[in-house]
Structure 1
């Protein structure tokens, strides 16, 4: 706690150092701001031009200060424009660029330019049906961006379905993502964590409807400003948010054979005040999942065989409301509160046969009924201060997260004559996860080519887990204090360099039942550097290095013994150490006649790798630090347009798995994991869009065994109706087979565990979406807030046993 007190003293010192950052008033002069509005029109057809790009540039120094994109009616509004003389630059594919001189004054801060006519280029005079859209994939210096809103096949799905199509990301049968072969991935929503992720990332992703996702950012080389957690990298989900004057919103409904959801959002903006809200719900139609499980112990010549079905039901709802207020040109406040509620349950039965030396000892039926729920409230508040010096920024952010989860199960063992083989097995677990975060960040640009980012942060976590048996109660506290510095500069006018160092102190204490008390604290330094060079032809070469950490989350630590399947029990391990990874990556990207090619190779070493282990003598699966993994890998992504409205896209990822346990000197040898993704999309006149895609994830190696391959494929049609205010479409997934068959196997010196899962994946769906009100985009200010990207997420059951099988 002394470290935490020092953190808050440091925060106070920073506020004193930045005393000039007053909240308006005093001696500071408050600049009056206004807005510039216009409507972009095609000069030949007199029709509005949507998605035209507008930039506002100061005349005196030629600096860009604002910008936006025209909406479906050709309208654009630029907010928070200070009195000045500007150049308004308008550009769009197939049209000649246009520049207009404009001037606003304190007496007349608002300026309506009316209709602005764009003239088509020579190649476009005869054909004006070209529509410019954001590319599906964008590559940047430190991340790859997948623009999910351009993908018509995700309608009716959830964030887990979207993740399956993101380059370099693979998703297991339960919905848990991994990045370039590592499950040590931190998933953020709008740059911030959700308390839901601390319990189960797969369940949290199922709560986010695909229609609400704008893009997914894949950050493989995070700088020191990010939390050191996420050894494999960071996945940041950006949801759709309108920055528009007036009232607007969106309503969508998806009905299908596998899952159904409805979502509604409403946004309002008047001057400096903006309010956004959303509400959604989903329901999965119960379907049978078949699980065939076989456990063998060689020394005892014993075998237990289970063959059964489970029918899972799932429903969830979520809501959020946010407020943004620009106090003046330099000060802004924002706050948001979000609520998630998720319920999952399954009923099933399995026929169980127990034998020794091929002699059947007994047969019985195991009947199970399980229920789980998860709800979470996240509240955040941010203050942002800028100055007249472009790029200078000071932010203070706070977040509080309150989570609660419950798990209940009842298991009955029934003889062939209907009598009870043993007393019923019951379990009851209630967990509370409270998390509080405070951080401050400061950015200072020394020049156009050099800037400094620095900040401090404190995280307090308090986890309590109570059981039906009080002897298993679990109380866990984790406090983290961090500070970082990142310097960005040009070297020899040729190289762009972004280097930094992060220091983190972790203090852990806890008690489990009456027999286990633990205390642990450690300090780590995490360096990072990215060096990039822009080559001829818009090509970029990048070399990066960073050190990352992965702390285990609640699902890994919780010692609750899940006995829903007495032959395959599951339990967490509170004595886990964090994973530490060092990663070196070399990347290359280029643009050739509108096509994009992005390739990278990397080398990663990870110590204290956390994985699940099966112990046959205890009939138990738990987690352990299994050893050190050395991994080489490569990724290639490319897009190509055979025709202007036909896009082909492909991605290939490969990485090796070579883990050695230093205590036993046991090694897995070198195993190659890989995944392939392919997509074809065509746009037609009249607002028609069609797409097909396929994903193949090869077998994945673990310390004890392998997780089998998975293949997903699907397609969609989409049609714009009601003057582009609405869309209607259909989508299909794995149409030629009801079930996705997954084969998992764990082996040891004296045992073999074999599982076959037949997961119902085939689906057909119809979706409808409607936009209403004004959709007038303005350039949003970049928000900075809490980003607790620091906990290893649950990898899910995925072959670990459990009669209920995987989650739907």
Structure 2
């Protein structure tokens, strides 16, 4: 496969390089000086973009004197776009037939947020809003080569640990959305999808720290929203991205957008493979305060084979200027196959024994999302809207564990081969009505919503019987579990915008009804609860492009079907992972204070404090009589977090950009385990450095590095981690064909991820040596031309109210 990809890449490069040579044309210069309309002071570090048709051709940053210039501009009609945080954006039409000096260009300050303008800057754009931080990935040169997962290492408040788990403010308690909506492909293991998703198809990443009331109240730390949609117009355009990564991970993504009159369509799809072999896995467990003492040590090597594919289509039809219908369908599927061979050494007092084990675990996922939106506009104002949305989600996730033992040495306990099947299914229907009406200084939003969920887990355990020479059903470890969760909500939000103030306040009332049924034992679990969730945020615009934001909100965490399903996962001998159908929802209180300065580059500093009781904690218990560790989730925790975050982005020159970011948290956790109080606390956080340089002739180079402190858990912690990357890109055909390459962690092939856990009667450590060095290359081809724009529904369904999987 790699040889085929290399041959294809060389062929494509040869063809397009030969096509890219063009005759020299006469070019001209366009320049000007930006000034503040009130103070008449120079406009420092404004973003100025030169646009032709629907494409931004060049971007520059004004200097300390407000001066900007474009050289080598061909004859023709262009649009000049100027913008900066704290100022109203401006567009100027220019016709180039000779050198042009625009003289002074006056920019008017504004008290509220900058109007959205399609500017692709030569530096990452970080925008602070009252309730969120927005990272413009298209402004980052590395977006052409990195995956979304790697791009998240650079986003303020986000970090990615050594096992590729995304953290928001140092924790994993958040919700992740795509275009404001949940996606079935992200429900089980989001890092697999994010690792395969190219960042060049993402417009921006929003980190919503104080989610407004229109969002479901789930996600204790906040919401991560990945925006991929683009404005398009009459005609068509498309994008094809082919990539290869070492270790073996080829991928292909394509996107096609069409528009004709009132009808528009966006079709997209992607597929990828992630295959690694020889990953070392070590398990160590020692008993303590127990006689006789027992020890477990295992060493193994794992082969992992991942495959995923997704696709979809968005259709849009404008009935007239006030009525819009949109529909979307998103099928997806894939599998994760893990084959592990291990050697176990067991000590129990003076007895010592060993055996070998082979295990195969296969996770599969498949499903489809369907969404339908109807939007009604009003003649009085453009933003006055009424939207009705319906969403249907169908998902299936079968899991198969196959474990066999051989070569026992001095091991007297019976070793019985076994298999486990768990077919987990879920369905979800959502109906939602949203209304928004902007008055002179106040915007009113309101809505109602109903979510009807059903989940089922059919799990079976089969043990090998020597007499029957076959696998027989173990009825004690088999069951059918179903779970229904119905949620009804209503919300109301008010946004008040004045000259220098933005005030946003609202509340959401939610009622939740849960019923769980064990068919084999005919037993049920029922619960119902009501929550009134407030959300308040202020933003004050200061002089010199500064602002201060303050926010408070409560967030709720409902357990997902994976945590509720009591399936006893025994894919690791000596360990049993089991869900808890009695889990309850958790309520968290979050406070945030943020200072922003966009005078020269950007500076964001924030302080965070949150606390929650009855939090869901993953608990490890060593069962001495069975010599196994039982892992489950319980509502036993009391969590507190005090944290700070800083992000600094500075254009050293118009071509050279530097950014630094960091997060420092202190976490307190406590909970009762087997009648004894367990406590843990410590410092977590990360530091990140990025720099990029844009050379002449469309070359770009980047370097990034980050460090992450250990994660703090109730019964232990992980080790620290670091990341180092170098990359570059070259436009072979400007704005059409781009070749990109990068290398991550070139000086070390493997790196160990360590997770340490302890209890009153045991200590435990798992060490996994993941592939650390990665080499990327990709080709990205854009084609077609569009004019005008497709309308998209301003409101759509966003079910962000369940906890993501803890597996």
Q: Under TM normalisation by the shorter chain, which class is it?
A: 0.7 to 0.9
Q: Is the 8 A contact 2:680 2:716 kept in 1?
A: no
Alignment partner of 1:487 is 2:494: yes
Do the aligned partners of residues 524 and 624 (structure 1) sit closer, same or farther apart at CA in structure 2, a change above 3 Å counting?
same
Picking from 656, 672, 677, the partner of 2:688 is: 677
Query: Paired residue for 1:31?
Result: none
Q: Is the 8 A contact 2:483 2:561 kept in 1?
A: no
Picking from 727, 741, 745, the partner of 1:734 is: 745
The CA deviation string for residues 487-537 of structure 1, in whole angstroms up to 9 with x for no partner, is 11147x653211001000000001135344100000010011111111111
Rounded Cα–Cα distance in structure 2 between residues aligned with 1:480 and 1:332: 28
**Runs of 5+ consecutive residues of structure 2 not aligned to the other structure:** 1-24, 32-48, 59-77, 106-118, 462-474
Alignment partner of 1:45 is 2:37: no
Query: Paired residue for 1:753?
Result: 764
Q: Is the 8 A contact 1:70 1:776 kept in 2?
A: no
Picking from 142, 152, 171, the partner of 1:163 is: 152
Q: Cα distance, 1:714 vs. partner?
A: 0.8
Do the aligned partners of residues 160 and 98 (structure 1) sit closer, same or farther apart at CA in structure 2, a change above 3 Å counting?
closer
Do the aligned partners of residues 639 and 123 (structure 1) sit closer, same or farther apart at CA in structure 2, a change above 3 Å counting?
farther
Picking from 592, 598, 605, the partner of 2:604 is: 598
The CA deviation string for residues 458-507 of structure 1, in whole angstroms up to 9 with x for no partner, is 0010101112257421100000000000011147x653211001000000
Query: Paired residue for 1:119?
Result: 100
Deviates more, 1:667-676 or 1:657-666: 657-666
Rounded Cα–Cα distance in structure 2 between residues aligned with 1:464 and 1:517: 14
The CA deviation string for residues 407-437 of structure 1, in whole angstroms up to 9 with x for no partner, is 1111111125799962211111111110111
Picking from 531, 537, 554, the partner of 1:547 is: 554
Q: Cα distance, 1:71 vs. partner?
A: 5.0
Query: Paired residue for 2:251?
Result: 261
Picking from 742, 766, 770, the partner of 2:781 is: 770
Rounded Cα–Cα distance in structure 2 between residues aligned with 1:445 and 1:646: 41
Rounded Cα–Cα distance in structure 2 between residues aligned with 1:760 and 1:621: 27
Q: Cα distance, 1:69 vs. partner?
A: 6.1
Query: Paired residue for 1:478?
Result: 485
Q: Is the 8 A contact 2:492 2:508 kept in 1?
A: yes
Q: How many residues align?
A: 704
Query: Paired residue for 1:722?
Result: 733
Query: Paired residue for 2:187?
Result: 198
Query: Paired residue for 1:610?
Result: 616
Query: Paired residue for 2:198?
Result: 209
Query: Paired residue for 1:690?
Result: 701
Q: Is the 8 A contact 2:28 2:96 kept in 1?
A: no
Q: Cα distance, 1:552 vs. partner?
A: 1.2
**Structural mapping, 1:434-449, within 5 Å:** 434-447=427-440, 449=441
**Structural mapping, 1:293-442, within 5 Å:** 293-298=283-288, 299-300=290-291, 301-357=293-349, 359-390=350-381, 391-416=383-408, 422-442=415-435
Q: Is the 8 A contact 2:577 2:630 kept in 1?
A: yes
Do the aligned partners of residues 220 and 97 (structure 1) sit closer, same or farther apart at CA in structure 2, a change above 3 Å counting?
closer
Q: Cα distance, 1:47 vs. partner?
A: 9.4
Q: Is the 8 A contact 1:379 1:399 kept in 2?
A: yes
Deviates more, 1:517-526 or 1:389-398: 389-398
Q: Cα distance, 1:212 vs. partner?
A: 2.4
Do the aligned partners of residues 777 and 303 (structure 1) sit closer, same or farther apart at CA in structure 2, a change above 3 Å counting?
farther
Do the aligned partners of residues 723 and 632 (structure 1) sit closer, same or farther apart at CA in structure 2, a change above 3 Å counting?
closer
The CA deviation string for residues 216-272 of structure 1, in whole angstroms up to 9 with x for no partner, is 110001111110111110000111535132011011100121222111111111121
Query: Paired residue for 1:280?
Result: 270
Q: Is the 8 A contact 1:44 1:119 kept in 2?
A: no
**Structural mapping, 1:575-594, within 5 Å:** 575-593=582-600
Rounded Cα–Cα distance in structure 2 between residues aligned with 1:487 and 1:597: 28
Rounded Cα–Cα distance in structure 1 between residues aligned with 2:557 and 2:647: 27
Match of 1:609, SS?
A: strand
Rounded Cα–Cα distance in structure 2 between residues aligned with 1:530 and 1:432: 39
Q: Is the 8 A contact 1:251 1:264 kept in 2?
A: yes
Query: Paired residue for 1:81?
Result: none
Match of 1:574, SS?
A: coil
Query: Paired residue for 1:521?
Result: 528
Rounded Cα–Cα distance in structure 1 between residues aligned with 2:508 and 2:665: 27
Deviates more, 1:166-175 or 1:644-653: 166-175
Query: Paired residue for 2:115?
Result: none
Match of 2:191, SS?
A: helix
Alignment partner of 1:220 is 2:201: no
**Structural mapping, 1:131-150, within 5 Å:** 132-133=121-122, 135-150=124-139
Picking from 569, 577, 584, the partner of 1:570 is: 577
Q: Cα distance, 1:214 vs. partner?
A: 2.1
Q: Cα distance, 1:178 vs. partner?
A: 2.2
Query: Paired residue for 1:638?
Result: 648
Q: Cα distance, 1:173 vs. partner?
A: 4.4
Rounded Cα–Cα distance in structure 1 between residues aligned with 2:340 and 2:513: 42
Q: Cα distance, 1:116 vs. partner?
A: 9.7
Alignment partner of 1:91 is 2:73: no
Rounded Cα–Cα distance in structure 1 between residues aligned with 2:721 and 2:370: 38
Q: Cα distance, 1:150 vs. partner?
A: 3.3
Do the aligned partners of residues 133 and 648 (structure 1) sit closer, same or farther apart at CA in structure 2, a change above 3 Å counting?
closer
**Structural mapping, 1:72-83, within 5 Å:** none
Q: Is the 8 A contact 1:155 1:254 kept in 2?
A: no
Alignment partner of 1:648 is 2:658: yes
Rounded Cα–Cα distance in structure 1 between residues aligned with 2:265 and 2:91: 34
The CA deviation string for residues 587-622 of structure 1, in whole angstroms up to 9 with x for no partner, is 1101123x1001110110112221211111042111
Q: Is the 8 A contact 1:154 1:161 kept in 2?
A: no
Do the aligned partners of residues 536 and 97 (structure 1) sit closer, same or farther apart at CA in structure 2, a change above 3 Å counting?
closer
Query: Paired residue for 1:511?
Result: 517
Query: Paired residue for 1:466?
Result: 458
Deviates more, 1:653-662 or 1:207-216: 207-216
Rounded Cα–Cα distance in structure 1 between residues aligned with 2:183 and 2:455: 15
- With the length of structure 2 as denominator, give the TM-score of the two structures: 0.82
Picking from 755, 778, 801, the partner of 1:790 is: 801
Query: Paired residue for 1:661?
Result: 671
The CA deviation string for residues 560-580 of structure 1, in whole angstroms up to 9 with x for no partner, is 111112211211111111121
Match of 2:155, SS?
A: coil
Q: Is the 8 A contact 2:323 2:374 kept in 1?
A: yes
**Runs of 5+ consecutive residues of structure 1 not aligned to the other structure:** 1-42, 50-66, 77-87, 101-112, 125-129, 797-808
Q: Is the 8 A contact 2:259 2:790 kept in 1?
A: no
